[in-house]
Amino acid sequence: MSIPTFGVGTFRLTGQTVIDSVRTALELGYRAVDTAQIYGNEAEVGQAIAESGVKRDDLFVTTKIWTENYGKNKLVDSLRDSLKKLRMPYVDLTLIHWPAPGNGIELPEYMTALAEAKALGLTRQIGISNFNIELTRQAIAVVGKNEIATNQIELSPYLQNPKLTAFLKEQGITVTSYMTLAYGKVLKDPALAQIAQKHQATVAQVALAWALQLGYAVIPSSTKRENLASNLLARDLHLDADDMAAIAALDRNGREVNPPGLAPVWD
Catalytic member of 30, 39, 110, 178? 39
Cα 106 from Cα 91, distance rounded (Å): 24
SS3 letters for the chain?
Answer: CCCCCECEECCCCCHHHHHHHHHHHHHHCCCEEECCHHHCCHHHHHHHHHHHCCCHHHCEEEEEECHHHCCCCCHHHHHHHHHHHHCCCCEEEEEECCCCCCCCCCHHHHHHHHHHHHHCCCEEEEEEECCCHHHHHHHHHHHCHHHEEEEEEECECCECCHHHHHHHHHHCCEEEEECCCHHHHHHHCHHHHHHHHHHCCCHHHHHHHHHHHCCCEECCCCCCHHHHHHHHHHHHCCCCHHHHHHHHCCCCCCCCCCCCCCCCCCC
Answer yes or no: 90 catalytic. Answer: no
Q: Is 97 annotated among the ligand-binding residues? A: yes
Phi, psi of 83 (to 5 degrees): -65, -40
Point out the residues that are catalytic: 39
- Residues within the annotated binding site? 97
Binding site, annotated residues for substrate:
97
